């Protein structure tokens, strides 16, 4: 598509954000996503809405980078304000939620010395909401971890929760293997890819829905369901392998531990991800 056609699409989606099309064209020409769009054929009626949404987000990023105040206000309304809802599951106090929003603004909108604002690095391969969600979730987790350290509670978050509801015959087994299981489980989570950890972190900790994750990653909802299942299955299987081969846990005991771990899997993964929130945001950005 030519520059005028792309600019018209963006102006339809963001009528209040107006600036020179030539500036937008120069900005696009320096980015792979921009080159791809400029070389793309005119979209069909079915494709037009998706094309318009993608171009509009690039237009917004370009306008913010140029210092356009209206563009910043639009970004605030579309991407910062909804964090009240998307981070609700994390139950942050109002003051900490405001701090997260401010940190997101600083991370994405503020120019560093001799460098563009991070929002200008937006690749245009996914959706801008995904980039904002990843950064916001990371900052929220950092605040939560800091608060727990200040309260002197670092160790409880490192435990693999094998307690669960009391089950006859399992008490001695839990006591015998709790430390070994905790180590094997943590090692298994550590072997997940950055993409898998970020999917689990956003879904379990950030409360991001399957539909939202699909939008973030430009994938079908069924693909997100499969990726999450594969990540969970990998954690269980690697934990089981470590206990069986390295520690020599008997087959009958291993089956009981596996069933117990499976019943507590999400809660245990959530606890580890919150404690070890090394959030590979750069890896997540590459998926945008």
SS3 of the chain: helix, strand, coil, percent, to 5: 75, 0, 25
CB distance 54 to 129 below 8 Å: no
Q: Average pLDDT of 88-115?
A: 86
Q: Is 146 helix (H, G, I), strand (E, B) or coil?
A: helix
Per-residue exposure over 207-236, b if at least 16 CB sit within 10 Å of its own CB, e if not: bbeeebbbbbbeeeeeebeebbeebbebbe
The pLDDT of residue 264 is above 70 = no
| Residue 240 pLDDT level (bands cut at 50, 70, 90) | confident
Query: What pLDDT was estimated at residue 11?
Result: 93
Query: What pLDDT was estimated at residue 142?
Result: 80
Q: Rounded to an integer, what distance in angstroms lies between the CA atom of residue 90 and that of residue 272?
A: 15
Longest Cα–Cα distance in the chain: 73
Query: What pLDDT was estimated at residue 206?
Result: 67
Q: Rounded to an integer, what distance in angstroms lies between the CA atom of residue 273 and that of residue 158?
A: 10
Entry field: residues in the chain: 288
pLDDT tens column, 137-189? 878 878 877 776 555 544 444 444 444 444 444 555 566 667 777 788 888 88
> What's the CA angle centered on 75, arms 74 and 81, to 5 degrees?
100
Query: What pLDDT was estimated at residue 158?
Result: 41
Average pLDDT, the chain: 78
pLDDT tens column, 267-279? 777 777 765 544 4
Please choose, from the candidates 49, 51, 30, 31, the residue with its C-alpha nearest in 3D space to the C-alpha of residue 40.
51
């Amino acid at each position: 598509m030519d520059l005028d056609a792309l600019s018209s699409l963006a102006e339809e989606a963001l009528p209040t954000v107006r600036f020179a099309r030539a500036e937008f064209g120069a900005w696009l020409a320096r980015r792979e996503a921009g080159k791809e769009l400029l070389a793309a054929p005119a979209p069909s009626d079915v494709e037009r809405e998706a094309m318009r949404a993608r171009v509009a987000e690039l237009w917004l990023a370009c306008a913010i980078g140029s210092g356009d105040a209206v563009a910043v206000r639009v970004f605030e309304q579309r991407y910062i304000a909804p964090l009240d809802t998307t981070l609700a599951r994390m139950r942050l106090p109002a003051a900490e939620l405001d701090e997260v929003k401010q940190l997101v603004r600083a991370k994405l909108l503020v120019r560093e010395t001799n460098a563009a604002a991070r929002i200008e690095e937006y690749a245009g391969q996914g959706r801008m909401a995904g980039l904002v969600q990843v950064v916001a979730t990371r900052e929220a987790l950092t605040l939560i971890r800091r608060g727990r350290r200040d309260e002197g509670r670092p160790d409880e978050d490192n435990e693999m929760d094998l307690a669960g509801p009391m089950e006859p015959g399992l008490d001695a087994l839990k006591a015998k293997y709790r430390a070994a299981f905790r180590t094997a489980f943590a090692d298994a989570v550590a072997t997940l890819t950055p993409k898998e950890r970020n999917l689990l972190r956003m879904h379990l900790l950030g409360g991001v829905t399957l539909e939202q994750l699909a939008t973030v990653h430009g994938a079908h909802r069924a693909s997100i369901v499969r990726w999450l299942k594969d990540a969970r299955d990998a954690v269980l299987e690697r934990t089981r392998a470590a206990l069986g081969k390295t520690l020599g846990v008997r087959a009958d005991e291993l089956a009981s531990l596996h069933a117990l771990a499976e019943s507590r899997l999400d809660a245990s993964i959530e606890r580890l991800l919150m404690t070890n929130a090394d959030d590979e945001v750069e890896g997540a950005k590459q998926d945008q």
